[in-house]
Amino acid sequence: MRDTRASLLSEAEILVRGRGYSGFSYADLAEAVGIRKASIHHHFRTKEELAGALIEAYEARYDAALDTIAGDTRDGVERIEAYGRLYLGGVEQGLGCLCAALAVELETLPEGLRRSIVRFFDKHIAWLAGVLEEGQIDGSVRRGLDPQAHARLIVAALEGALLLERFLAGPEGFARTLTALSEGLRPAA
Amino acid sequence: MRDTRASLLSEAEILVRGRGYSGFSYADLAEAVGIRKASIHHHFRTKEELAGALIEAYEARYDAALDTIAGDTRDGVERIEAYGRLYLGGVEQGLGCLCAALAVELETLPEGLRRSIVRFFDKHIAWLAGVLEEGQIDGSVRRGLDPQAHARLIVAALEGALLLERFLAGPEGFARTLTALSEGLRPAA
DNA sequence: GGAAATCTACCTACTAGATGGTTGGCAATA
DNA sequence: TATTGCCAACCATCTAGTAGGTAGATTTCC
């Protein structure tokens, strides 16, 4: 059934985001889903293949969210804030970013996964830079700032805030950081 | 000898920062230092004890650096930039932050280590908030901003930038992010 | 001063349990 | 009949940690 595969992806994502890639095992996952360890291999031949599918699904969800934001809002800073709120769910559930969890183990990560992670972040930076540039043209974003550099800053700040506020100040802490971040993007009053 | 213990701490830090806490083993560490696996237990009874010592040493180095910055510079934004440059070494060596590497595995982390990590970040946020407040008084930092919120933002942005630029754009990418970050703290011209 | 006791730093050899992964088979479905 | 989804049993390897010992330095006590 398609069902088991989806459960495996869902539960594996929770495990990786909660305890890291080499911090979770097939035994953990089998228990979470309620099948035997050997059966996981029927759906994902190796742990690496599972991780690849995890990133793919995660990325697809973000892609859809970026489209929604672009369709729903016009104002540049509002778009950035909406983007920032995508991370909020993680803080609320006490789960970090999937790609951040993998990135920590960069050195021992298979080449394929490494490339997927690079792609994930590069895409976000490019999207944000586009939002900022467009916002500068329509006047919803401060003119002086460098869109490329600020796009990097936004991803870094949100990734960092998710990492930290998960165990520091929770959703409120994250919200404060997001506010401080977006304030700096508004055109001078 | 004190020497072996120091080597163990140094090599273990490199391993954890490069591949995560559960991504490195006593076997890896033994090979890196050039002693047998069992001998590590003579210096650090358990892996958790080793991790604790790792954080302690890491924290002490940061404490010393914060004191140096406070002694060497007066200008608020300059202090923040100097603080940001503390992270640069990691990017150059391709090593993430020790506490970030541990934080990713939060869920399975022993309570004691968890507390140490909270203390590490809380201390940095408090120090940065103090720098910003002082800077607002002497006019070297923009008045409007909330010191607490921006202290959180600074730590988050730098932790995130270290995590990302390690494999994205390297030291140049990190420098761009740091510039974008500190620009927003300067008083309006 | 010198023997005895203790400590330090390391070793080989081992343990129990976990790790990702394999094999071969069984039942349901299409 | 062929495929799908799952399973028990197994495998080699790795995991942190233990047991017990050796050689050499340091301390203690007569």
Domain locations in chain A as residue ranges: 47-183
How far apart are alpha carbons A149 and A156 in whole angstroms? 11
Q: Which positions in chain B touch A19 (Cβ < 8 Å)?
A: 104-108
User: Span A28-35, mean pLDDT?
Assistant: 92
Residue A26's nearest nucleotide, by CA–C1', is C20
Burial of B111 (0-12, 13-18, 19+ CB in 10 A): exposed
The pLDDT value given to residue B2: 65
The pLDDT value given to residue A182: 97
Residue A1 has pLDDT above 90, yes or no: no
The pLDDT value given to residue B3: 85
Residue B18 phi, psi dihedral angles, 5° rounding = -90, -30
Alpha helices, DSSP H only, in B34-184? 37-43, 47-72, 76-86, 88-93, 98-103, 111-138, 147-165, 170-183
What's domain A47-183's architecture? Orthogonal Bundle (1.10)
| CB contact at 8 A, B167 and A118 | yes
What's domain B52-183's architecture? Orthogonal Bundle (1.10)
Give the containing element (helix H, strand E) for A35.
Answer: none
Ranking A117-126, A142-151, A180-189, B148-157 by mean pLDDT, the lowest is: A180-189
| CB contact at 8 A, B110 and B47 | no
How far apart are alpha carbons A129 and A80 in whole angstroms? 10
The pLDDT value given to residue A2: 66
Residue A168 has pLDDT above 90, yes or no: yes
Decide: CB of A38 under 7 A of nucleic strand C: yes
**Per residue in B68-117, pLDDT tens?**
999 999 999 999 999 999 999 999 999 999 999 999 999 999 999 999 99
User: Span A125-129, mean pLDDT?
Assistant: 98
Chain B nearest CA to A180, separation (Å) = 6
How far apart are alpha carbons A25 and A23 in whole angstroms? 7
Q: How far is the CA of B5 from the C1' of C30 (A)?
A: 65
How far apart are alpha carbons B114 and B105 in whole angstroms? 10
Residue A15 has pLDDT above 70, yes or no: yes
Ranking A2-11, A140-149, B154-163 by mean pLDDT, the lowest is: A2-11
Q: How far is the CA of A109 from the C1' of D11 (A)?
A: 25
| Three-state helix/strand/coil letters over B69-98 | HHHHCCCHHHHHHHHHHHCHHHHHHCCCCH
The pLDDT value given to residue A89: 96
**Per residue in A55-87, pLDDT tens?**
999 999 999 999 999 999 999 999 999 999 999
**Per residue in B175-188, pLDDT tens?**
999 999 999 999 98
Question: Which residues of A in 40-99 have their CB below 7 Å from strand C's atoms?
Answer: 41, 45-48
Decide: CB of B28 under 7 A of nucleic strand D: yes
How far apart are alpha carbons B161 and B174 in whole angstroms? 6
